[in-house]
Amino acid sequence: MKSYYKYICLLLLALSGTSCKKYLDVTPDNLGTLEYAFRNRNEAENYLFSCYAYLQRQSNVASDPGFTTSGEIIYPENLTNYLDFNVTGFNLIKGRQNSSNPGLNRWDGENGSYSLFRSIRLCNTMLENIDKPIDLTESEKQRWIAEAKFLKAYYHYCLFRMYGPIPLVRENLEITSGTDEIRVKRAPVDEVVDYIVALLDEATPGLPLIISNQARELGRITRPIALALKAEVLATAASPLFNGNPDYASFKDKNGVNLFPTSFDAQKWKKAADASLAAITICEAQGMKLYSYLPPATVGQLSDELKKVLTIQNSVTEKWDENPETVWPQSPTFDYQGFATPRLTQKATINVFSNPSTFSVPIQTQEMFYTDKGVPINEDKTWDYTNRYSIKTGDAATRYYVKEGYETVRAHFNRESRFYASIAFDGGIWFGNGRYDQNNAYYVQSRGSTSFAGPKDMIRLNVTGYWPKKLVNYLSVYDENFTPVPFHLPLIRLAGLYLLYSECLNEFSGPANSDVFKYIDLVRERAGLPGVKAAWTTYSRNPNKINTKEGMRDIIHQERRIELCFEAQAGWDLRRWKELQNVLGTPLQGWNVYEADAINFYRPRTLVNPVFGVKDYLWPIKDNDIVINPNLVQNPFW
């Protein structure tokens, strides 16, 4: 076992410069030696599950940059002393990233994250010892090899989209490895992508099409998941951050090797489009389709408006095994429903830690959603953009969205169903929470400290007056008692694949390809919106936008941000598109939440002035790692 520890430390020393003593407990629990770990099928399966364990840890949105650095949600910084909650990721957009002690450091496993190189090492160990269990059947062996290769590919991909060029850990180092061997180098971007894709291609045939034994195996990798991830990897590699990015044109290693491609390659979009279509095809062949809400017997008669809202909300929060849209769900359940729920009753106001209500959506995110005509609010000829912050009272015609007789702002009227499904606002209807009569539904009251959802103290505080409603199962109840209905946040769902395919096709061939519109329109139709061509031609002040690649790029990007809002996708999409600088280039604002009167409440106030520059698109490698391993080079501008 001493030899086993030695090679663990050699590999980790090469990658992160950390001493051996720190990692003496990294062996999975109850595995004394490798011989014991692989002595039979049961022990080997436990080791396989230890490879999955790091996938589960990574799924916590509080440590996912796709969630915390997207600008979709603000977390009040002054609550950190009161709640056991990791706010490192939320603070990164405030200019607090540094190379001496990086936040969300997945390279070394520090500051709200853990080392993905450790996960890769476990996968390699699994592959190196898979022949040892004497009672393992050949079919199981091939499946486990495929799962380990998939997980190995995924962990490399997670490092790639954070750091760009990374060392490729093709196999674990020998215990006799010398200094030159453990001082690994960063592989160029294209080599990294080719390696990840090759692993996925090797893994795919050995994976099952579906999980047949859901009682024991739900959460394990399938063939549709592998093909969907391949599409995402190739789309990331084809995107502006990694495909001929001029900011990184001169970035080289110590031997003068270019670590980023120096020119744009359009064929990368073609590869990504082909991979996206292959993923869609296999998903649909297994019966996957866009989710549609069917009310249970306990829910009474519902209007078409509420059915659309619940369809969108439940496309994320429906039970894993009852949602035909989910391609790849996170294994642990989503733990932050109470952070996303406004307090709706007097009893809920005393439920401090179960219903803190502190995930705060900035006005900027609210304004990203379309009007009910299916175009942006600043483009719709029928929508009063200039006076959107003026006061308007809810009436009978809008009673399923806004409380009848309640004063709110015009911005909350005549919006698409995804707006009402995704965001809770002052005066907005909240169907559920134990009350299922559409004519007597809860509604949000958040103006001033005396309102149910308003600020109570420095623990129960939503700083913007908006909540990410989409992250709450409508059957969950927050009242005197906390009764959540758990769900698994999707890593990939079919609607996201449709939009990815539209994006890749548009980037390669432009809007001349009819499938660009076909797949985006499938998503819009489910949301109750007209197709892109009909909407822009009829309602937009810029009807020619749909006729150019650049115009359709803007439309597809906004569509993807709307459809996947709060699902830990936008932070990654905006990075690969090189658009996060634009999104975080303006102040993040909320309403004046301490005011009780509507006229004073609805005054935007700046809460965060984001600090995000070109250097922030990639994570810095910790300075100490660069010192210990002279073959490593730091990312540009750090």
| Mean pLDDT to the nearest integer, 543-551 | 98
Of 19-28, 184-193, 501-510, which gets the smallest average pLDDT? 19-28
Residue that terminates a domain, selected from 418, 452, 487: 487
Is 338 in the same domain as 264?
no
Residue recorded with tokens 């190739």: 234
Distances (CA, A) of 623 to 147, 228, 611, 628: 34, 35, 21, 9
Is 50 in the same domain as 189?
yes
Q: Would you say 431 and 293 are in contact if contact means Cβ atoms under 8 Å apart?
A: no
CA distance 357 to 459: 9
Phi, psi dihedrals of residue 212, rounded to the nearest 5°: -80, -35
| Mean pLDDT to the nearest integer, 291-319 | 95
- What pLDDT is recorded for position 26? 36
User: SS3 for 294?
Assistant: coil
CATH label of the domain that carries residue 183 = 1.25.40.390
Q: For 412-454, how does the pLDDT look when each residue is reduced to its tens digit (9 = 90+)?
A: 999 999 999 999 999 999 999 999 999 999 999 999 999 999 9
CA distance 297 to 475: 13
Residue 638 in any domain: the answer is no
CA distance 290 to 198: 30
Q: How far is CA 546 from the centre of its chain?
A: 28
For residue 78, give the nearest of 458, 457, 356 by alpha carbon. 458
CA distance 564 to 464: 21
Residue that terminates a domain, selected from 458, 487, 516: 487
Q: Would you say 383 and 377 are in contact if contact means Cβ atoms under 8 Å apart?
A: yes
Domain that includes residue 88, residue range: 2-291
Residue 521 in any domain: the answer is no
Exposure string of 248-284, with b = 16+ CB inside 10 Å and e = fewer, is beebebeeeebbbbeeeeeebbbbbbebbbbbbebbe
Is 267 in the same domain as 153?
yes
The secondary structure of residue 445, as a DSSP letter, is -
Q: Which helix (H) or strand (E) holds 62?
A: none
- What pLDDT is recorded for position 85? 52
Per the rule left: phi > 0, alpha: psi between -120 and 50, beta: everything else, 637 is: left
Is 272 in the same domain as 375?
no
More confident residue, 176 or 594: 594
Is 81 in the same domain as 173?
yes
Is 286 in the same domain as 348?
no
Q: Is the pLDDT of residue 564 over 80?
A: yes
- What pLDDT is recorded for position 114? 84
- What pLDDT is recorded for position 24? 24
- Tokens standing for 230? 């391949």
Residue 591 in any domain: the answer is no
CA distance 319 to 474: 12
Residue 13 in any domain: the answer is yes
For residue 516, give the nearest of 267, 308, 311, 269 by alpha carbon. 269
Q: Would you say 293 and 310 are in contact if contact means Cβ atoms under 8 Å apart?
A: yes
pLDDT confidence of 331, banded at 50, 70, 90? confident
* CB proximity list for 274: less than 8 A, separation 6 or greater: none
CA distance 82 to 595: 24
Q: For 117-170, how does the pLDDT look when each residue is reduced to its tens digit (9 = 90+)?
A: 999 999 999 999 999 999 999 999 999 999 999 999 999 999 999 999 999 999
Is 274 in the same domain as 362?
no
| Mean pLDDT to the nearest integer, 6-28 | 36
Residue 226 in any domain: the answer is yes
- What pLDDT is recorded for position 203? 98
Is 208 in the same domain as 259?
yes
CA distance 207 to 150: 9
Q: Which helix (H) or strand (E) holds 326?
A: strand 326-329
The secondary structure of residue 252, as a DSSP letter, is B
Cα torsion 207, 212, 214, 216 to 10°: value is -70
pLDDT confidence of 215, banded at 50, 70, 90? confident
Percentage of the chain exceeding pLDDT 70: 94
In Å, the largest CA–CA distance within the chain is 77
Average pLDDT along the chain = 92
CA distance 268 to 245: 14
Number of domains in the chain: 2
Q: How far is CA 48 from the centre of its chain?
A: 25
CA distance 118 to 603: 49
Q: In terms of residues, how long is the chain?
A: 638
- What pLDDT is recorded for position 32? 55
Is 98 in the same domain as 160?
yes
pLDDT confidence of 16, banded at 50, 70, 90? very low
Percentage of the chain exceeding pLDDT 90: 82
Residue 362 in any domain: the answer is yes
Q: Which helix (H) or strand (E) holds 483?
A: strand 482-483
Residue 586 in any domain: the answer is no
* CB proximity list for 251: less than 8 A, separation 6 or greater: 258, 259, 260, 633, 635, 636
- What pLDDT is recorded for position 9? 39
Is 102 in the same domain as 194?
yes
Cα torsion 450, 454, 458, 460 to 10°: value is 110
Distances (CA, A) of 301 to 68, 310, 404, 476, 557: 38, 13, 19, 19, 36
Is 354 in the same domain as 411?
yes
Q: Would you say 438 and 301 are in contact if contact means Cβ atoms under 8 Å apart?
A: yes
Residue 568 in any domain: the answer is no
Is 246 in the same domain as 165?
yes
- What pLDDT is recorded for position 27? 40
Q: Would you say 427 and 394 are in contact if contact means Cβ atoms under 8 Å apart?
A: yes
pLDDT confidence of 176, banded at 50, 70, 90? confident
Q: Is the pLDDT of residue 503 over 90?
A: yes
| Mean pLDDT to the nearest integer, 237-241 | 98
Residue recorded with tokens 């919106």: 529
Residue that terminates a domain, selected from 434, 464, 487: 487
Q: Among the ranges 173-177, 232-236, 479-483, which has the highest mean pLDDT value?
A: 232-236
Tell me the sheet residues that pair with 428. Answer: 402
The secondary structure of residue 172, as a DSSP letter, is P
- What pLDDT is recorded for position 266? 98
Q: Is the pLDDT of residue 188 over 70?
A: yes
Cα torsion 192, 196, 201, 202 to 10°: value is 100
User: CB-based burial of residue 177 (10 Å sphere; 0-12 exposed, 13-18 middle, 19+ buried)?
Assistant: middle
CA distance 146 to 127: 9
Q: For 344-387, how does the pLDDT look when each residue is reduced to its tens digit (9 = 90+)?
A: 999 998 877 789 899 999 999 999 999 999 999 999 999 999 99
For residue 382, give the nearest of 371, 370, 396 by alpha carbon. 371
